[in-house]
Structure 1
């Protein structure tokens, strides 16, 4: 099993592997639902243009493992996360519990 720090590094590397120009920031917004996730990944070019990046299964696996490591009890639940990265290597990770999202997933899974 990976460590939290190695997962953060792998998320950053996943994004950096797709950028082939100067950039000023990149981000991953994720809605996580145990066995599935939805990603919004992008970077900002030096010209200020937002460009899409690919999420894909490798990114899902990283967030699944991160979810397993960080939700070891009910007090640490999250179903939304935001990872942001600057060219300097500075990054930020935010976790959030969205009850409306959880209720919607529950409702759709019961239909």
Structure 2
């Protein structure tokens, strides 16, 4: 699966969980802990600026594997390590993904994994 396929799969999953036609943008933020754990948050804004949270239990489970694959490809294959990501989608289909390394999060994960 290519990065483009993964991006499309994430976007499709988001759109499948937006239940109005008049939305302004949608986003998912990711905290990546390791190969077996990550945390997702997100939702979408209406054009009247109301925010509606996603109910991730309603998402296709591929959303988890999509972010794991994306992490593997972008962190290990390209060498750009990240543990936080933000995927933003517009109704036009235009999207943006920002990834970054949060050392505090990495230190927190390390502390918990050593207990």
Please indicate the TM-score interval, normalised by the length of the shorter structure.
over 0.9
Q: Give the count of matched residue pairs.
A: 110
Secondary structure of the residue aligned to 1:27 is: strand
Q: Secondary structure at the match of 2:99?
A: strand
TM-score, length-scaled by structure 1: 0.92
Distance 1:46 1:63 in 2: 28
What is aligned with 1:7?
Answer: 6
Secondary structure at 1:69's aligned position in 2? helix
Secondary structure, in 3 states, of the residue corresponding to 2:49?
A: coil
Gaps of at least 5 residues in structure 2 are none
The answer to whether 1:70 aligns with 2:74 is: yes
2-structure distance, mates of 1:72, 1:31: 17
Question: Cα distance, 1:36 vs. partner?
Answer: 0.6
Q: What secondary structure does 1:76 align onto?
A: coil
When normalised by structure 2's length, the TM-score is 0.89
Q: Show structure 1 runs of 5+ residues with no match.
A: none
Q: Secondary structure at the match of 1:72?
A: helix
**Greater CA drift, 51-60 or 18-27:** 51-60
